[in-house]
Amino acid sequence: ASMGDLRAVYGLSAAEAGLMRALAGGERLKEYAQQHEVTYETARSRLREVFRKTGARRQAELVRLVERFPRARPA
């Protein structure tokens, strides 16, 4: 499976999938926002969409979802 598979399965945008992967790699939301040059509020909005689309309620659940897709895992 790849990041494309992760996007297809959950209907995520590229930005949402990237956020999910970053969080699974241990990155904090604030760090993600800074590295991707988006506001913290934009990152939070993306995270809410990821939760809605995946059905996850916590970031730990997102990590488990990413682990189901070996090639989507952070390096």
pLDDT at 6: 82
pLDDT at 29: 96
Greatest alpha-carbon pair distance for the chain in Å reads 30
d(CA 50, CA 63): 12
SS3 labels along 24-61: HCCCCHHHHHHHCCCCHHHHHHHHHHHHHHHCCCCHHH
pLDDT at 73: 55
pLDDT at 68: 82
- Those residues whose C-beta lies under 8 Å from the C-beta of residue 34, and which sit 6 or more positions away, are none
Tens-digit pLDDT profile for the chain (75 aa)?
Answer: 467 788 889 999 999 999 998 998 899 999 999 999 999 999 999 999 999 999 999 999 998 888 887 665 555
Buried b (16+ CB within 10 A) or exposed e, 17-40: bbbbbbbbeeeebeebbeeeebee
